[in-house]
Chains A and B, each alone.
Chain A
Amino acid sequence: MRFIFKTNYAQDVNLAKHGGHVFWYSALMLLLVAAPWVFAEYWLAQLTLVLIYSIAGLGLMLLAGFTGLFSMGHAAFLGVGAYTHAVLTNMGVPFPIALACAAGLSAAVGLVVGLPALRVKGIYLGIATLSFGFIVEEVLARWESVTGGNAGVHIKKPNIFGWVLNSGEEFYFLCLVITVFATLGILNLLRSPTGRAFVAIRDSEISAQSMGIHLAYYKTLSFAISAAFAGVAGALYAHNLQFISPDQFNILQSIDLLLMIVIGGVGSVHGAFLGAIFLISMPQAIGMVKDYLPAAIGQAPGLQGLVYGLVLIAFVLFEPMGLYGRWLKIRTYLQMFPFYRKGMFKRQKSFQKSDRLK
């Protein structure tokens, strides 16, 4: 068991709380930088996809996990980002500028979607964002002069002021750099007044307001930041597939994103990454197991959906804190061995919260 002896406030503020953090995160970074030489091309492509989904996951985590606003139409922001980026790139705009525009436009759309969030809560916000998702999908399909309709759009290779990223390795590094920046940005927000305001809104709106937090401002801000992250992820997603069409940004994609953060662990930054790893590796795992199953099950359509559904139900029932929560338990078990008790993470039920003023 590690006891941290704090001697100054900077220890609280720093991202790395102790030597263990520095060591393990440096090791992870080294592995990620060395990945193109370690992994085969196919696995590198999968890793790239994990990074892209992680960025979208980070955004949704900020919104759902830290501000408490669930969005069921998050793929729409992904789509807005992807299409904005594709159109601009095909017009010859350099990658960084096109990416900034994709993020900006997504954020602007997020701002507009955030407005109903000021009035509706919980399941009703879910319905509002769900219908927004359908609207965007429809717009992408119908606005043929810009989006190419259901036929989709091909997108050119990323071009950073004349440097064209042709290989998978180069694109991987681009994604890695953006992911690192996105992660640091979210972590910075969470350790500063802005992030604390989000958490305050999640836990008690009424007292957040009486602490001087402007609810409308921070809720729309959360939507905008979350949408901007989805927009960036969408832009990279478009490059990754080199072809986008409206049906890639439908409700199934939204559900995948939501599934990702719930399974990863709502309310933890790690959860976004663990969820992305789960989401990308699951089809692979199913593919591998398929051949050993009886044909009636293995070849049945909808096997993946069934497995996802079962896994989600299992997590909600047995591990509401997701993969990250499970990891926390394992870590505590090892740290405290043999003193770990089963009920350690049990939350005491409390019946004192007032709903009167909500």
Chain B
Amino acid sequence: MNEILLSAKNLSVRFGGVLAVNNVSFDVKQGEVFTLIGPNGAGKTTVFNLISRIYTPTMGEIDFAGPDGMLKLTTQPPQNVASLGIARTFQNIELFEHASVLHNLLIGRHTHRVTGLWQDFFFTSKTREAELKAREKAEEVIEFLSLQHYRDTFVAGLPYGVRKVVELARALCTEPKLLLLDEPSSGLNVEETDDMAFWIQDIKNDLGITVLMVEHDMTLVSKVSDRVLAMNQGEMLAMGTPREVQTDPGVIEAYLGSIDDVSSLRRDRSIEASPPGARAHLP
């Protein structure tokens, strides 16, 4: 439980004059749900893109407990990240639109392919066997996320809420050790968000997959997260349980502004001075 799965050390990334992530360090332990929160532009998604090797950090490094012990993730080519056991979803859904849901899930099985080009070209018995097995695995995920109804539907024709689930399903098909969820509840209604919370808990408890997510919905965050890291302007603000982070004065300040900022917004100071009863009829 307390083994470290992923550890980011002094991570910094600079785009020209913008320091998007500044000296961020955190550890994700095996079997926990770790959440990154922060206002827009805090650098949460950039951290995700560093982990999935879309960006390379200017400074610092990321270690990951791969199949053969700890390895430096920052030296791996991007396409190897998935086979090491890291799967991700995207904030603005990136599904393969002109393919069916099942097809999308099968692409998620890509890292588990056992056949080569020529075996595929002649569709040998080995390819056939692998195809049947891949479908069996995809079917397990379909059942887990109750997607049976949409199995053969084209993604282009699916509503947003379902696409979100399909993307989660595709990530699960890679059989990851670490799942990166970039705003799993954005654009979902209350009911769908509840389902998502339920699934994230199931992914953690039943499938034993560690989850690292970026999320804005604090109800969801406090429901599922074991630990939370709050960021602002690329810097770490606070880390701890959801409750600890929510009550941290630095975090409150980042979201709401400081006391001075708020008081300067008050239009009429006389209201503040008047007795409590006088405020009751104000809108």
In contact, B115 and A192 (Cβ under 8 angstroms)? yes
Q: Which of A185, A213, A215, A354 interacts with B91 by CB under 8 Å?
A: A354
CA gap between A211 and B87 in the complex, in Å? 7
Which residues does chain A contribute within 8 Å of B121, judged by CB atoms?
185, 188-189, 194
Q: Determine whether the beta carbon of A199 is less than 8 Å from that of B103.
A: yes
Q: Which of B68-123 contact A (CB under 8 A)?
A: 78-83, 87-88, 90-99, 102-103, 106-111, 113, 115, 117, 119-123
A-contacting 9-mer, from B19-27, B127-135, B202-210? B127-135
Chain B residues whose CB sits within 8 angstroms of the CB of A10 once the complex forms: 132
Question: Would B78 and A200 count as touching, CB distance under 8 A?
Answer: no
Cross-chain contact of A211 among B107, B132, B156 (Cβ < 8 A): B107
Q: Which of A20-28, A120-128, A201-209, A253-261 lines the interface with chain B? A: A201-209
**Secondary structure of the B contact surface, majority rule:** helix
Give the residues in chain A near B102, CB-CB below 8 Å.
Answer: 12
Judged by a CB distance under 8 angstroms, whether A97 is at the interface is no
**Chain A residues within 8 Å of B35, by CB:** none
Interface residues on A, range: 35 or more
Does the CB pair A204–B94 fall under 8 Å? yes
Is the Cβ of B96 less than 8 Å from the Cβ of A199?
A: yes
Does B30 lie at the interface of the complex (its beta carbon under 8 Å from any beta carbon of A)? no
Residues of B within 8 A of A188 (CB): 120-123, 127
A13 to B106, CA, bound (A): 12
User: Is the Cβ of B120 less than 8 Å from the Cβ of A194?
Assistant: yes
Q: Is A94 an interface residue (CB 8 A)?
A: no
Tally of A-B residue pairs with Cβ under 8 A?
125
Contact A354 B170 (CB under 8 A): no
Task: Give the chain B neighbours of A206 by CB distance below 8 A.
Answer: 54, 90, 94
Contact: A197 with B107, CB < 8 Å? yes
- A191 and B107 contact, CB distance less than 8 A: no
Contact A203 B98 (CB under 8 A): yes
Q: List, in ascending order, chain A residues with CB within 8 A of B130's CB.
A: 193
Interface centre among B103, B107, B130, B135 (most CB of A within 10 A): B107
Q: By the criterion CB–CB under 8 Å, are B132 and A212 in contact? A: no
- Residue-wise, chain A 320-358 has the 8 Å CB interface mask toward B (1 for contact) of 000000000000000000000000000110101110010
Digit string of A199-229 for contact with B (CB within 8 Å is 1, else 0)?
1101110111111111100000100000000
- Chain A residue nearest in CB terms to B92: A354
In B202-224, the 8 Å CB interface with A consists of none
Contacts of B110 in A (CB 8 A): 193, 196-197, 200, 211-213
Proximity string of chain A (248-284) to chain B, C-beta cutoff 8 Å, 1 when within and 0 when not:
0000000000000000000100000000000000000
> Given the complex, which residues of A lie within 8 Å of B120, measured CB to CB?
188-189, 192-195
Decide if B12 is an interface residue (CB 8 Å cutoff).
no
Distance in Å: Cβ of A182 to nearest Cβ of chain B: 10
Q: Which residue of B lies closest to A215 (CB)?
A: B79
The answer to whether the Cβ of B52 comes within 8 Å of any Cβ in the partner chain is yes
Contact residues, A74-95 vs B (CB, 8 A): none
Interface residues, chain B, with chain A CB atoms under 8 Å away: 49, 52, 54, 78-83, 87-88, 90-99, 102-103, 106-111, 113, 115, 117, 119-123, 127-128, 130-132, 134-136, 139, 156-157, 160, 170, 174
- 15 A-B Cβ contacts within 8 A? A13-B132, A13-B135, A185-B121, A189-B120, A192-B120, A197-B110, A200-B110, A202-B98, A204-B94, A206-B90, A207-B95, A209-B78, A209-B79, A212-B81, A212-B174
Interfacial residues, chain A to chain B (CB-CB below 8 A): 9-10, 12-13, 185, 188-189, 191-197, 199-200, 202-204, 206-215, 221, 267, 347-348, 350, 352-354, 357
The 5 closest A-B pairs by CB, nearest first: A212-B82, A192-B120, A207-B94, A203-B96, A188-B123
